[in-house]
Amino acid sequence: MLPRLPFAALAAAVLIFNLLFYAVDAGFGVLAAPAAVLLAGPVLMAWHRPLPAWSAMVVAMPLLTGLGLALGSSVVPQPWLLNQTLAQLPVMYVLALSSARRVTIVAVAVTLAAGIAMSVPQDMAPDRLSRGLLAWTLALLLAVVLGHARRMRRLATLRVADELGRRRILEERARIARELHDVVAHHMSVIAVQAASAPYRIGGGVSEEVAEEFTAINAAARESLRDMRHLLGALRGSDDGPGTAPQPGLEDLGALAESVRRAGVPVQLTVSGPAPSLSPVESVTVYRIVQEALSNVVRHAPGASTTVSVRAEVDAVSLAVDNEPPRHVSGTTQPGSRLGLIGMRERVAVLGGDLTAAATDAGGFAVRARLPRRAAG
Protein backbone atom coordinates (compact mmCIF):
# COMPACT_ATOMS: atom_id res chain seq x y z
CA MET A 1 0.00 0.00 0.00
CA LEU A 2 2.92 2.34 0.59
CA PRO A 3 6.18 2.90 -1.34
CA ARG A 4 9.31 1.30 0.02
CA LEU A 5 11.77 4.18 -0.45
CA PRO A 6 10.29 6.54 2.20
CA PHE A 7 10.49 3.79 4.80
CA ALA A 8 14.10 3.04 3.91
CA ALA A 9 14.98 6.75 4.14
CA LEU A 10 13.12 7.15 7.44
CA ALA A 11 14.79 4.05 8.91
CA ALA A 12 18.20 5.39 7.88
CA ALA A 13 17.43 8.76 9.50
CA VAL A 14 16.27 7.05 12.74
CA LEU A 15 19.39 4.89 12.74
CA ILE A 16 21.80 7.82 12.35
CA PHE A 17 19.95 10.03 14.83
CA ASN A 18 19.85 7.36 17.56
CA LEU A 19 23.40 6.25 16.88
CA LEU A 20 24.61 9.77 17.66
CA PHE A 21 22.19 10.11 20.60
CA TYR A 22 23.23 6.90 22.34
CA ALA A 23 26.93 7.33 21.59
CA VAL A 24 27.22 10.99 22.62
CA ASP A 25 24.40 11.90 25.01
CA ALA A 26 23.59 8.54 26.64
CA GLY A 27 27.17 7.23 26.75
CA PHE A 28 26.40 3.75 25.43
CA GLY A 29 29.77 3.43 23.72
CA VAL A 30 29.97 0.48 21.36
CA LEU A 31 26.44 -0.54 22.35
CA ALA A 32 25.06 2.58 20.68
CA ALA A 33 24.94 0.75 17.33
CA PRO A 34 22.72 -2.20 18.43
CA ALA A 35 20.54 0.21 20.40
CA ALA A 36 19.99 2.31 17.28
CA VAL A 37 19.26 -0.81 15.25
CA LEU A 38 16.57 -1.82 17.76
CA LEU A 39 14.72 1.40 16.93
CA ALA A 40 15.40 1.63 13.19
CA GLY A 41 14.67 -2.03 12.42
CA PRO A 42 10.91 -1.91 13.12
CA VAL A 43 10.57 1.22 10.94
CA LEU A 44 12.06 -0.59 7.96
CA MET A 45 10.08 -3.76 8.72
CA ALA A 46 6.77 -1.86 8.96
CA TRP A 47 6.64 -1.39 5.19
CA HIS A 48 6.23 -5.13 4.61
CA ARG A 49 5.26 -6.69 7.96
CA PRO A 50 3.46 -4.15 10.19
CA LEU A 51 2.43 -6.53 12.98
CA PRO A 52 5.88 -8.13 13.44
CA ALA A 53 7.37 -4.63 13.26
CA TRP A 54 5.12 -3.49 16.11
CA SER A 55 6.07 -6.59 18.14
CA ALA A 56 9.77 -5.82 17.64
CA MET A 57 9.15 -2.19 18.66
CA VAL A 58 7.41 -3.21 21.92
CA VAL A 59 10.17 -5.71 22.74
CA ALA A 60 12.82 -3.02 22.13
CA MET A 61 11.28 -0.66 24.70
CA PRO A 62 12.23 -2.62 27.88
CA LEU A 63 15.51 -3.75 26.33
CA LEU A 64 16.67 -0.17 25.81
CA THR A 65 15.50 0.95 29.25
CA GLY A 66 17.20 -2.03 30.92
CA LEU A 67 20.39 -1.42 28.95
CA GLY A 68 20.45 2.21 30.04
CA LEU A 69 19.98 1.25 33.70
CA ALA A 70 22.66 -1.45 33.50
CA LEU A 71 25.17 0.99 31.97
CA GLY A 72 24.29 3.74 34.45
CA SER A 73 23.56 6.05 31.56
CA SER A 74 23.07 9.73 32.21
CA VAL A 75 20.00 9.61 29.94
CA VAL A 76 18.04 6.43 30.59
CA PRO A 77 16.03 5.54 27.44
CA GLN A 78 12.31 6.11 27.91
CA PRO A 79 9.57 5.12 25.43
CA TRP A 80 8.17 8.65 25.50
CA LEU A 81 11.44 10.42 24.70
CA LEU A 82 11.68 12.08 21.30
CA ASN A 83 14.18 9.65 19.81
CA GLN A 84 11.94 6.64 20.49
CA THR A 85 8.67 8.41 19.69
CA LEU A 86 9.91 9.31 16.21
CA ALA A 87 10.62 5.63 15.58
CA GLN A 88 7.28 4.47 16.99
CA LEU A 89 4.96 6.81 15.06
CA PRO A 90 5.46 5.33 11.55
CA VAL A 91 5.09 1.80 12.93
CA MET A 92 1.79 2.63 14.65
CA TYR A 93 0.54 4.50 11.57
CA VAL A 94 1.15 1.57 9.22
CA LEU A 95 -0.27 -0.89 11.76
CA ALA A 96 -3.53 1.10 11.91
CA LEU A 97 -3.54 1.41 8.13
CA SER A 98 -3.18 -2.31 7.50
CA SER A 99 -4.89 -4.00 10.45
CA ALA A 100 -8.43 -4.37 11.73
CA ARG A 101 -9.68 -1.96 14.38
CA ARG A 102 -9.59 -4.51 17.20
CA VAL A 103 -5.97 -5.36 16.44
CA THR A 104 -5.03 -1.69 16.47
CA ILE A 105 -6.82 -1.07 19.79
CA VAL A 106 -5.02 -3.99 21.44
CA ALA A 107 -1.68 -2.80 20.04
CA VAL A 108 -2.19 0.73 21.37
CA ALA A 109 -3.19 -0.58 24.80
CA VAL A 110 -0.17 -2.90 25.01
CA THR A 111 2.20 -0.15 23.85
CA LEU A 112 0.92 2.35 26.42
CA ALA A 113 0.98 -0.25 29.18
CA ALA A 114 4.57 -1.18 28.34
CA GLY A 115 5.62 2.47 28.26
CA ILE A 116 4.00 3.24 31.60
CA ALA A 117 5.56 0.11 33.14
CA MET A 118 9.00 1.23 31.99
CA SER A 119 8.47 4.66 33.55
CA VAL A 120 7.33 3.50 36.99
CA PRO A 121 10.76 2.39 38.30
CA GLN A 122 12.36 5.68 37.26
CA ASP A 123 13.18 8.32 39.81
CA MET A 124 11.92 11.49 38.16
CA ALA A 125 9.67 14.41 38.89
CA PRO A 126 5.98 13.49 38.63
CA ASP A 127 5.16 16.53 36.51
CA ARG A 128 7.88 15.66 34.01
CA LEU A 129 6.72 12.06 33.87
CA SER A 130 3.08 13.04 33.39
CA ARG A 131 3.89 15.57 30.66
CA GLY A 132 6.09 13.09 28.84
CA LEU A 133 3.53 10.28 29.00
CA LEU A 134 0.69 12.61 27.95
CA ALA A 135 2.57 13.95 24.93
CA TRP A 136 3.65 10.44 23.97
CA THR A 137 0.10 9.07 24.29
CA LEU A 138 -1.36 11.87 22.17
CA ALA A 139 1.30 11.36 19.49
CA LEU A 140 0.62 7.63 19.28
CA LEU A 141 -3.14 8.18 19.17
CA LEU A 142 -2.75 10.76 16.41
CA ALA A 143 -0.69 8.34 14.30
CA VAL A 144 -3.26 5.58 14.86
CA VAL A 145 -6.23 7.84 14.04
CA LEU A 146 -4.58 9.05 10.81
CA GLY A 147 -3.74 5.50 9.77
CA HIS A 148 -7.23 4.24 10.55
CA ALA A 149 -8.84 7.13 8.67
CA ARG A 150 -6.77 6.37 5.60
CA ARG A 151 -7.66 2.69 5.92
CA MET A 152 -11.39 3.55 5.96
CA ARG A 153 -11.03 5.77 2.89
CA ARG A 154 -9.10 3.07 1.06
CA LEU A 155 -11.66 0.39 1.91
CA ALA A 156 -14.48 2.67 0.80
CA THR A 157 -12.69 3.33 -2.48
CA LEU A 158 -12.12 -0.38 -3.03
CA ARG A 159 -15.79 -1.12 -2.33
CA VAL A 160 -16.92 1.52 -4.80
CA ALA A 161 -14.47 0.27 -7.44
CA ASP A 162 -15.55 -3.33 -6.87
CA GLU A 163 -19.22 -2.42 -7.10
CA LEU A 164 -18.61 -0.40 -10.25
CA GLY A 165 -16.72 -3.31 -11.81
CA ARG A 166 -19.50 -5.77 -10.97
CA ARG A 167 -22.12 -3.39 -12.36
CA ARG A 168 -20.20 -2.96 -15.59
CA ILE A 169 -19.85 -6.71 -15.98
CA LEU A 170 -23.56 -7.23 -15.33
CA GLU A 171 -24.47 -4.53 -17.83
CA GLU A 172 -22.19 -6.08 -20.43
CA ARG A 173 -23.62 -9.54 -19.77
CA ALA A 174 -27.13 -8.13 -20.14
CA ARG A 175 -26.18 -6.60 -23.48
CA ILE A 176 -24.66 -9.88 -24.63
CA ALA A 177 -27.79 -11.72 -23.52
CA ARG A 178 -29.96 -9.34 -25.53
CA GLU A 179 -27.87 -9.89 -28.65
CA LEU A 180 -27.84 -13.66 -28.24
CA HIS A 181 -31.58 -13.52 -27.65
CA ASP A 182 -32.03 -11.67 -30.92
CA VAL A 183 -30.05 -14.36 -32.72
CA VAL A 184 -32.18 -17.15 -31.25
CA ALA A 185 -35.43 -15.17 -31.60
CA HIS A 186 -34.80 -14.63 -35.29
CA HIS A 187 -34.44 -18.33 -35.94
CA MET A 188 -37.38 -19.21 -33.68
CA SER A 189 -39.51 -16.76 -35.65
CA VAL A 190 -38.46 -18.48 -38.88
CA ILE A 191 -39.34 -21.87 -37.39
CA ALA A 192 -42.76 -20.60 -36.31
CA VAL A 193 -43.51 -19.17 -39.75
CA GLN A 194 -42.28 -22.27 -41.57
CA ALA A 195 -44.27 -24.56 -39.28
CA ALA A 196 -47.44 -22.51 -39.83
CA SER A 197 -47.09 -22.39 -43.61
CA ALA A 198 -45.68 -25.88 -44.25
CA PRO A 199 -49.07 -27.63 -44.65
CA TYR A 200 -49.98 -25.17 -47.42
CA ARG A 201 -46.60 -25.32 -49.17
CA ILE A 202 -46.32 -29.09 -49.45
CA GLY A 203 -47.70 -30.37 -52.70
CA GLY A 204 -50.66 -32.71 -52.32
CA GLY A 205 -51.33 -31.55 -48.77
CA VAL A 206 -50.55 -33.38 -45.52
CA SER A 207 -52.48 -35.70 -43.27
CA GLU A 208 -54.35 -34.44 -40.24
CA GLU A 209 -51.73 -35.91 -37.87
CA VAL A 210 -48.89 -34.13 -39.69
CA ALA A 211 -50.84 -30.87 -39.74
CA GLU A 212 -51.36 -31.14 -35.98
CA GLU A 213 -47.63 -31.77 -35.54
CA PHE A 214 -46.80 -28.62 -37.51
CA THR A 215 -49.32 -26.69 -35.43
CA ALA A 216 -47.67 -27.95 -32.22
CA ILE A 217 -44.24 -26.88 -33.50
CA ASN A 218 -45.60 -23.44 -34.36
CA ALA A 219 -47.18 -23.08 -30.90
CA ALA A 220 -44.00 -24.23 -29.13
CA ALA A 221 -41.88 -21.78 -31.11
CA ARG A 222 -44.20 -18.88 -30.32
CA GLU A 223 -44.35 -19.86 -26.65
CA SER A 224 -40.53 -19.95 -26.52
CA LEU A 225 -40.39 -16.48 -28.07
CA ARG A 226 -42.80 -15.12 -25.46
CA ASP A 227 -40.83 -16.73 -22.62
CA MET A 228 -37.55 -15.29 -23.90
CA ARG A 229 -39.05 -11.82 -24.23
CA HIS A 230 -40.43 -11.93 -20.68
CA LEU A 231 -37.13 -13.21 -19.28
CA LEU A 232 -35.06 -10.62 -21.08
CA GLY A 233 -37.53 -7.89 -20.16
CA ALA A 234 -36.98 -8.76 -16.50
CA LEU A 235 -33.24 -8.71 -17.07
CA ARG A 236 -33.45 -5.26 -18.63
CA GLY A 237 -35.88 -3.94 -16.05
CA SER A 238 -38.27 -3.07 -18.86
CA ASP A 239 -41.43 -4.51 -20.32
CA ASP A 240 -40.30 -3.73 -23.86
CA GLY A 241 -39.09 -6.82 -25.64
CA PRO A 242 -36.15 -6.69 -28.02
CA GLY A 243 -36.48 -6.98 -31.74
CA THR A 244 -36.03 -10.15 -33.67
CA ALA A 245 -33.86 -8.76 -36.46
CA PRO A 246 -30.73 -10.85 -37.12
CA GLN A 247 -27.52 -9.60 -35.55
CA PRO A 248 -24.46 -8.75 -37.68
CA GLY A 249 -22.07 -11.57 -38.36
CA LEU A 250 -18.99 -12.68 -40.22
CA GLU A 251 -20.37 -11.59 -43.58
CA ASP A 252 -20.59 -8.00 -42.30
CA LEU A 253 -16.89 -7.70 -41.45
CA GLY A 254 -16.12 -6.20 -44.87
CA ALA A 255 -18.56 -3.34 -44.32
CA LEU A 256 -17.15 -2.85 -40.82
CA ALA A 257 -13.59 -2.64 -42.13
CA GLU A 258 -14.66 -0.16 -44.80
CA SER A 259 -16.29 2.11 -42.22
CA VAL A 260 -13.08 2.08 -40.17
CA ARG A 261 -11.06 2.93 -43.29
CA ARG A 262 -13.29 5.96 -43.81
CA ALA A 263 -12.41 6.99 -40.25
CA GLY A 264 -8.74 7.19 -41.29
CA VAL A 265 -7.47 3.80 -40.13
CA PRO A 266 -6.02 1.56 -42.88
CA VAL A 267 -7.39 -1.93 -42.25
CA GLN A 268 -6.42 -5.15 -43.97
CA LEU A 269 -9.05 -7.87 -43.50
CA THR A 270 -8.48 -11.57 -44.09
CA VAL A 271 -11.17 -14.22 -43.57
CA SER A 272 -10.32 -17.86 -44.25
CA GLY A 273 -11.86 -21.23 -43.59
CA PRO A 274 -15.44 -22.48 -43.92
CA ALA A 275 -17.05 -19.24 -42.68
CA PRO A 276 -20.61 -20.14 -43.73
CA SER A 277 -20.52 -23.10 -41.35
CA LEU A 278 -20.26 -20.86 -38.28
CA SER A 279 -23.26 -20.83 -35.98
CA PRO A 280 -25.10 -17.50 -35.54
CA VAL A 281 -23.75 -17.15 -31.99
CA GLU A 282 -20.17 -17.73 -33.10
CA SER A 283 -20.61 -15.36 -36.03
CA VAL A 284 -21.98 -12.47 -33.95
CA THR A 285 -19.30 -13.02 -31.29
CA VAL A 286 -16.50 -12.78 -33.86
CA TYR A 287 -18.08 -9.64 -35.33
CA ARG A 288 -18.44 -7.91 -31.96
CA ILE A 289 -14.87 -8.69 -30.89
CA VAL A 290 -13.46 -7.33 -34.15
CA GLN A 291 -15.78 -4.32 -33.92
CA GLU A 292 -14.63 -3.44 -30.40
CA ALA A 293 -10.95 -3.99 -31.25
CA LEU A 294 -11.20 -1.68 -34.27
CA SER A 295 -13.08 0.90 -32.19
CA ASN A 296 -10.19 0.88 -29.73
CA VAL A 297 -7.76 1.48 -32.60
CA VAL A 298 -9.81 4.47 -33.79
CA ARG A 299 -9.93 5.91 -30.26
CA HIS A 300 -6.42 5.22 -29.03
CA ALA A 301 -4.24 4.81 -32.13
CA PRO A 302 -5.74 6.96 -34.91
CA GLY A 303 -4.14 6.34 -38.29
CA ALA A 304 -2.33 3.16 -37.20
CA SER A 305 -2.12 0.40 -39.79
CA THR A 306 -4.24 -2.54 -38.63
CA THR A 307 -4.59 -6.13 -39.75
CA VAL A 308 -7.60 -8.30 -38.98
CA SER A 309 -7.36 -12.04 -39.47
CA VAL A 310 -10.22 -14.49 -38.92
CA ARG A 311 -9.77 -18.20 -39.50
CA ALA A 312 -12.56 -20.73 -39.09
CA GLU A 313 -11.22 -24.22 -38.41
CA VAL A 314 -12.95 -27.49 -37.73
CA ASP A 315 -12.71 -27.26 -33.95
CA ALA A 316 -12.22 -23.54 -33.31
CA VAL A 317 -12.45 -20.02 -34.67
CA SER A 318 -9.29 -17.93 -34.30
CA LEU A 319 -9.09 -14.19 -34.78
CA ALA A 320 -6.34 -11.62 -34.41
CA VAL A 321 -6.42 -7.83 -34.55
CA ASP A 322 -3.01 -6.15 -34.61
CA ASN A 323 -2.34 -2.44 -34.94
CA GLU A 324 0.93 -0.59 -35.27
CA PRO A 325 1.78 2.46 -33.14
CA PRO A 326 -0.20 5.58 -34.10
CA ARG A 327 1.40 7.59 -36.86
CA HIS A 328 1.26 10.75 -34.80
CA VAL A 329 0.71 11.46 -31.11
CA SER A 330 -1.79 14.24 -30.52
CA GLY A 331 -4.74 15.16 -28.42
CA THR A 332 -7.09 13.17 -30.65
CA THR A 333 -6.80 9.99 -28.61
CA GLN A 334 -9.70 9.41 -26.29
CA PRO A 335 -9.55 7.97 -22.76
CA GLY A 336 -11.29 4.64 -22.42
CA SER A 337 -13.36 3.07 -19.67
CA ARG A 338 -12.01 -0.45 -20.41
CA LEU A 339 -15.60 -1.61 -20.90
CA GLY A 340 -14.62 -2.82 -24.36
CA LEU A 341 -12.10 -5.30 -22.98
CA ILE A 342 -14.62 -6.43 -20.38
CA GLY A 343 -17.17 -7.01 -23.12
CA MET A 344 -14.75 -8.99 -25.26
CA ARG A 345 -13.72 -11.19 -22.35
CA GLU A 346 -17.34 -11.82 -21.38
CA ARG A 347 -18.28 -12.79 -24.93
CA VAL A 348 -15.37 -15.18 -25.22
CA ALA A 349 -16.13 -16.63 -21.78
CA VAL A 350 -19.73 -17.36 -22.84
CA LEU A 351 -18.39 -19.70 -25.54
CA GLY A 352 -15.62 -21.12 -23.33
CA GLY A 353 -12.80 -19.55 -25.34
CA ASP A 354 -9.60 -17.66 -24.57
CA LEU A 355 -8.72 -14.01 -25.17
CA THR A 356 -5.55 -11.99 -24.72
CA ALA A 357 -5.19 -8.25 -25.23
CA ALA A 358 -1.87 -6.56 -24.61
CA ALA A 359 0.56 -3.98 -25.94
CA THR A 360 3.26 -5.20 -28.30
CA ASP A 361 6.99 -4.57 -28.06
CA ALA A 362 6.76 -2.29 -31.10
CA GLY A 363 4.34 0.04 -29.34
CA GLY A 364 1.13 -1.22 -30.91
CA PHE A 365 -1.62 -3.44 -29.54
CA ALA A 366 -2.68 -7.01 -30.23
CA VAL A 367 -5.93 -8.82 -29.56
CA ARG A 368 -6.04 -12.62 -29.86
CA ALA A 369 -9.11 -14.79 -29.39
CA ARG A 370 -9.89 -18.45 -29.89
CA LEU A 371 -13.46 -19.72 -29.74
CA PRO A 372 -14.03 -23.47 -29.55
CA ARG A 373 -16.70 -24.68 -31.95
CA ARG A 374 -19.48 -26.98 -30.92
CA ALA A 375 -20.24 -29.94 -33.07
CA ALA A 376 -23.45 -29.62 -35.00
CA GLY A 377 -26.25 -31.94 -34.10
Question: pLDDT of 3-37, one tens digit each?
Answer: 778 888 888 998 999 888 888 888 888 888 998 99
- Whether 149 is covered by a domain: the verdict is no
Say yes or no to pLDDT of 217 above 80: yes
Mean pLDDT of 69-74: 80
pLDDT tens-place string over residues 236-245: 554 444 455 5
Identify whether residues 9 and 117 lie together within a single domain: yes
- Whether 161 is covered by a domain: the verdict is no
Distance CA 281, CA 164 (A): 28
pLDDT tens-place string over residues 325-341: 886 654 444 444 445 67
279, 276, 281, 290: which is closest to 180 by C-alpha?
A: 281
What pLDDT is stored for residue 310 in this prediction?
Answer: 93
Identify whether residues 254 and 353 lie together within a single domain: yes
16, 118, 15: which is closest to 69 by C-alpha?
A: 118
Percent of the chain with pLDDT over 90: 21
Identify whether residues 345 and 283 lie together within a single domain: yes
Mean pLDDT of 353-360: 91
- Whether 273 is covered by a domain: the verdict is yes
Identify whether residues 256 and 224 lie together within a single domain: no
pLDDT tens-place string over residues 93-138: 999 998 888 999 999 999 999 888 877 555 667 777 788 888 889 9
- Whether 155 is covered by a domain: the verdict is no
What pLDDT is stored for residue 331 in this prediction?
Answer: 45
Identify whether residues 196 and 275 lie together within a single domain: no
Identify whether residues 291 and 365 lie together within a single domain: yes
Range of the domain at 45: 4-123
What pLDDT is stored for residue 332 in this prediction?
Answer: 43
Identify whether residues 261 and 362 lie together within a single domain: yes
Identify whether residues 261 and 357 lie together within a single domain: yes
Please say whether the beta carbons of 78 and 65 come within 8 A: yes
pLDDT tens-place string over residues 269-306: 999 876 556 777 888 889 889 988 888 888 788 888 99
What pLDDT is stored for residue 123 in this prediction?
Answer: 64
What pLDDT is stored for residue 334 in this prediction?
Answer: 46
- Whether 17 is covered by a domain: the verdict is yes
* Number of domains, the chain: 3
| CATH number, position 354 | 3.30.565.10
What pLDDT is stored for residue 375 in this prediction?
Answer: 57
Identify whether residues 215 and 273 lie together within a single domain: no
Domain end, chosen from 236, 258, 290, is at 236
